Amino acid sequence: MVTSDTFAERAFRFYKSLASPRVPRGVTVMNPYVDKRVQRYVRLFLDGYFSDNRERTLILGINPGRFGAGITGVTFTDPVALADECGIPNDFARKRELSSRFIYSVIKHLGGPDAFFRKFLLSAVCPLGFTRHGKNLNYYDDRKLERAVTPFIAASIDAQIALGCSRERVIVLGRGKNAKFFRRLNDGHRWFESVHPLDHPRFILQYRRRQAESYITDYERVLSDAH
């Protein structure tokens, strides 16, 4: 795909265009991209790592959480990682998120952010997050929510492929419900030739922390095979 603008510019337009879908009563949509401060940091991140027209492989989590992308707008990147790993000082509270800790350990093993983001785009099956009663809610935790946001999810995958992402393969984080949902959707839309699931970072650090190095090796193997 030949375009006059960069991957960074296309991605920034995508994030700014995200409009909160209609959701069931009691569910709140987190859309950090309507915040001017978040937009500024997202633009700095994209300009720093995506100012080119290289093709990327999509890595899809579930949906943003309150302490990572729900704050920074950068997937799997909490305020500490944004500053210390990506070199983008920010005025967010320096909170850590388990998933961000694990992902940046993987990124370090793969050569650091410069090398990693030349090849991959971190995103989510659902690019906006949800809360209920002030707690994170996965899109698949509520069947009504899942049904309500499926068209939004499908449209966002179409849009992210159009940014310049490979259709050869996609990596999905969350071997259970997230991978099952996405495989079913991919079967219908035929976006990607193959779907490669990995255990979700939060699951690893919450329930398998002692085996974290083994999981990092699994990530390295799958991500290295993607390029």
- Comparing 3-7, 11-15, 50-54, 202-206, which segment has the lowest mean pLDDT? 3-7
SS3 59: strand
The pLDDT of residue 67 is 83
Q: For all residues of the chain together, what is the average pLDDT? A: 95
Per-residue pLDDT at 227: 66
What mean pLDDT is predicted for residues 196-206?
94
DSSP-assigned beta bridge partners for residue 122: 59
Say how many residues make up the chain.
Answer: 227
- How far from each other are the two terminal CA atoms of the chain, in whole angstroms? 19
pTM assigned to the model? 0.95
Mean pLDDT over 148-158 rounds to: 98
pLDDT of residue 65: 87
Residue 94's pLDDT is 92
pLDDT of residue 1: 46
- Helix, strand, coil fractions of the chain, as percent rounded to 5: 50, 15, 35
Determine the Cα–Cα distance for residues 111 and 137; give it in Å rounded to an integer: 33
pLDDT average, residue stretch 154-158:
98
Helices (H), the chain: 7-17, 36-49, 69-72, 79-84, 98-109, 113-117, 143-164, 177-189, 201-207, 212-225
pLDDT band at 225 (very low <50, low <70, confident <90, very high): confident
Question: What CA–CA distances, in Å, run from 174 to 92, 149, 202?
Answer: 28, 18, 9
What is the sign, positive or negative, of the torsion defined by CA atoms of 40, 45, 46, 51? positive
> How far does Cα 71 stand from its chain's mean position?
13
Averaged pLDDT for residues 180-198: 97
pLDDT more than 70, % of the chain: 98
Please say if the pLDDT value at position 3 is more than 80.
no
Report pLDDT for 193: 97
187, β-bridge pairs: none
Nearest residue to 28 (alpha-carbon basis) of 142, 131, 128: 131
